[in-house]
Each structure stands twice: as structure tokens, then as C-alpha cells.
Amino acid sequence: MGQYREVSHPSPRTVAARPDPDAPGAADSDAAAAAGRAPGAGGLSTTEPVTDGRDLEAPATPTQRSSLLMSAFNPSREFMSWIYQINGRLDVEALARAVDDVVSRHDMLRLRFVNRDRGPVQVVTPFRPGVLNVVSLDDRPKLEALTTAVRAVEIEYQDLSPWDDARLQANLYLVAPKTNVLAVWVAEAAVDGDSGTLVAAEISRAYAAHAGRPAPDLPAPSGDSYLRYVLEHPVPETVLEQAARYWVEEVPAVAEAGTWPTVAGDRSVTRFFNVPGDEWERLVESTPALGTLPYVVVLSWLELALCEVAGAEHFVVTSAASGRRLPVTRGMIGNFVGPVRLKAEVHPGDTLEDVSPRVMAGLRAAMTHGVVPTPLAEAEAAGVDRYAPPPPTIAFYLFAEREGLDLAGVRQRRFRVHTGNRDILRVNCTPDGEGGRNFFFISASAPPPLLDALVSRFRSVMGA
């Protein structure tokens, strides 16, 4: 069994400066300073030592190494983010205490990654109070303050890297008495999607408690240590080697998808539709497998629609596989998810009954070998220093939880600061919070009429 390793270090804290609002170029300078950066510079602003501490470290897992690898290529920088315009009277002190409570409680929210001779390691740093960085912009007109806040978030996001700082970070921009912008992010190498849902729920509950408001009914994490799990459940080398061979030899990247365009452009086109709760319930009742295997059924619908619209019969679908197989991992905050590829095979005239067994077989194979995510296997085969991602693919993700903050007593409007997309087609299916499902069809290659045709055919195939 492995052991924690302790490392002494001084912990820094970023201190943002305020520029002269009357100085030339003040608009850009103000946003850069609000983001904690010197204008025109890419690094952090001044730092001051807060405390010395003892760190704990363990080897980075394959899923974490894959996320670190892909951070240089993905528009999201491999960071999970919750960015909101908040309207209403926000209790700033309660929010600050809530963020500190959650970060102090979960070691994965205080994670850094370091390269050692033996490879990347994850290092848990000591807790420092004051995680929430509050930036006051309410000394100027509201629209100017709001624009500055949004630009500051964009600047901050541009240079995010899990190698620089994977820890949970939070900035609150005070725009007006009842208007604020909140940006929270944490590296996906530390926190996967299921964990992100739990972290957001923890912050929401802690905020309600400190603000004296009713606590939202949200899922709670287990409190078990991910690092201890990693050390106590090492994956045998033979399993890792077999998984890596599978991705390189058995499921090579294939961008081919019938007549669907495979060259990604500069902009993505998005189509959205909602299936209300009563309609979704009807679909589950009429398609029993949808209730027990929603991933398989929805992906089968997508493959059938692609075959009819673009003549796609043999292609590869990028998705994600979770390694939360043991009971102890349920509710644990950490990273268990990595990108995988599924072989897709569908022929004209096929029905759901024909396609779904093949989807199920591909899913089982992906989960069996998902202990090594596809990008990591490819990079190690080619040489990490020479690795470049394969051509954009078709991607499909079905989310079981509605993740995000739920701060009691205020209205939230969520927005995203990264809009890039490498996928020639990406389909997301997410709960809408009212028993229904939201479907997002996003393409970086297809013209709008073709995407419209696919969405129409998909809805016809699913019977909605």
C-alpha cells in the first residue's frame, strides 16, 4: 500500500490591485486588475505569504493525467466553472464563510499538481481562510461595472491551467447593491462532473445556513478521502497496459461519419429543445429500457438519426466513462471520469432493437478499458511531448444530475465564458430540474440546415 508524503511549503495568496480609473486605457486595465493580473501581463499580481503548512501527496491517477494532458487543447481549459450574474440581496459574508467551510472540508478542493521524476503527483495544500476574493466595482455606473466584471472573468479564464493552480477559486464582483457577478472554478483533474454537483450543493447548503435561510434539498458527499482511495486501490500494471493497447489498436480515432462534415469551422451552431416532464415520463413508459438504460437508448436514437440524415453507418462516438464502481466511491469528491470512444454501427432500416445491443456492447468495452482514458493511451503511444489530439469527433454526454449553485434568496443567471468547440457534433442531454430533459445539439462543422434536419429526425425517432 502506498503512503502519503508530506512536503513543507509557504502558501501564497493573490492580492489584486486597483488602477487609477482616470488613467489612459483604464477600461482594459480595470478588467485586468479585477481579474488579479497586471495590465498587459499574463501572470498573477503580487503575492504575500499567508502560512507555512504540511502538504499531502499521492500519484496522479490516469484520469487525472488525461485531464492535465488535454488542458492545453480544450476550450474549457479542463476547468469546471459556475459563473453567474446574481440579482437580489446577496449576503456576502455568508457566501465567504460558505466557500471557506467547503474548501476546508474537502482536500480535493485544495489540490495542486506537480511533475516529479516518476510522473505527475497530486498535492493537497493546507487550508487558508479567505478563498472568496471580493472585488468592489460599485463606485461606477452599473453597466460599466457589469461589463468590467464580465471582462475580468474572461481574462481570468484565458490563462487557467491545472498545472498552475487546480484549487477551487472564487471571485465575487460587487456591481451594484442588488447586482453581483460570481465566478467559481476548479480543475476537472481534481473534481469530475458528479463531484462538481456535490461541491455546488455543499456551497449552496452552507450559504443557506450562514445566511439563516432554508437549506435546499440537494445531494451530500460522503466525506471519504480520494487520495486515500487512490493509494489503497492501485490499478494493476497489466490492466493499465491492456487498456492502453485497446484504445490504440482496437478503437482508433475515426472522424468519418457519412456525409456529415468533418472539418470544424471557427464557430459552432447550437440547437436546443426541451422534453417536458410529462412527455419524458410517457417516453419512459413506452420505451422501458429508457428508464433503466437511458444512456444506451438516447445514444441509439442519435445513431439512428445520423444514419438517416447523413448516411453514417460506421463511426466513433466520444463520450466519458466513470470509474465509480466500488460502493466507497459513491459520493466521493475526486476525479473518476475520463474520455473514451465507442464504436458505432448502424444501417439503413435498423430499429432501436437492432442498434441498442451494439451500443450496449460498445459501452461495456469502453467502461472495461476506461481505467486509462483514450487521450492518455494515445499520448503515451506517440510520446507525450509530440501528442496532438485526433480530428474532431461526434460526442455524446448524458448527465444524471443538474449541477450548479443554488443560493437561497437571490436570482441567478448562469453564463459561460468559453464558447469554443472541437467536436463536429456534440449532443448533451441534461435534467431540466422539473422531471424533463434538455437537449443541446452543437456542431462546429455542420451548416444550420443540416443540424436542423438532424434535430428534427432525432425528435421523430424518439417519438417526442
Compute the distance between CA of residue 310 and CA of residue 425 in angstroms, rounded to an integer: 12
Compute the distance between CA of residue 20 and CA of residue 52 in angstroms, rounded to an integer: 34
| Nearest one of 401, 439, 37, 27 to 271, comparing CA atoms | 439
**Phi–psi pair at 134, nearest 5 degrees:** -100, 125
10 Å Cβ neighbour count for 152? 25
> Which pLDDT tens digits describe the chain residue by residue (464 residues)?
333 333 333 332 333 333 333 444 545 556 666 665 433 333 222 223 333 345 688 999 999 999 999 998 887 889 999 999 999 999 999 999 999 999 999 999 999 999 988 889 999 999 999 999 999 998 999 999 999 999 999 988 888 899 999 999 999 999 999 999 999 999 999 999 999 999 999 999 999 999 999 988 888 898 889 999 999 999 999 999 999 999 988 877 665 678 888 887 777 889 999 999 999 999 999 998 998 899 999 999 999 999 999 998 888 899 998 888 888 999 999 999 999 999 888 999 999 999 999 999 999 999 999 999 999 999 999 888 888 888 778 899 988 665 689 999 899 998 877 656 678 899 999 998 889 999 999 998 899 999 999 999 999 999 86
Pairing of strands 132-136, 79-87: unpaired
Report DSSP state, residue 199: H
Compute the distance between CA of residue 108 and CA of residue 329 in angstroms, rounded to an integer: 14
Where, residue-wise, is CATH 3.30.559.10 in the chain? Answer: 5-232
Whether the Cβ atoms of residue 65 and residue 120 lie closer than 8 Å to each other: yes
Helix pair 374-382, 237-245: axis angle to 10 deg? 90
The domain defined by 237-462 folds into Chloramphenicol Acetyltransferase (3.30.559)
**pLDDT value, residue 49:** 30
Dihedral sign computed on CA atoms, order 400, 401, 402, 404: negative
- Report the DSSP beta bridge partners of residue 111: 124
The domain defined by 5-232 folds into Chloramphenicol Acetyltransferase (3.30.559)
Residues 6+ apart with CB under 8 A from 325: none
Compute the distance between CA of residue 216 and CA of residue 201 in angstroms, rounded to an integer: 8
Where, residue-wise, is CATH 3.30.559.30 in the chain? Answer: 237-462
DSSP annotation string for 222-254: ----HHHHHHHSPPPHHHHHHHHHIIIIIS---
Three-class DSSP labels, 118-172: CEEEEEECCCCCCCEEEEECCCCCHHHHHHHHHHHHHHHHHCCCCCCCCCCEEEE
Compute the distance between CA of residue 248 and CA of residue 92 in angstroms, rounded to an integer: 50
**pLDDT value, residue 33:** 64
Compute the distance between CA of residue 458 and CA of residue 451 in angstroms, rounded to an integer: 10
Look at residue 296 and give its three-state secondary structure.
Answer: helix
**pLDDT value, residue 145:** 95
AA letter at 100: D
> Cell 505527475 appears where?
120
**pLDDT value, residue 13:** 34
Compute the distance between CA of residue 278 and CA of residue 435 in angstroms, rounded to an integer: 8
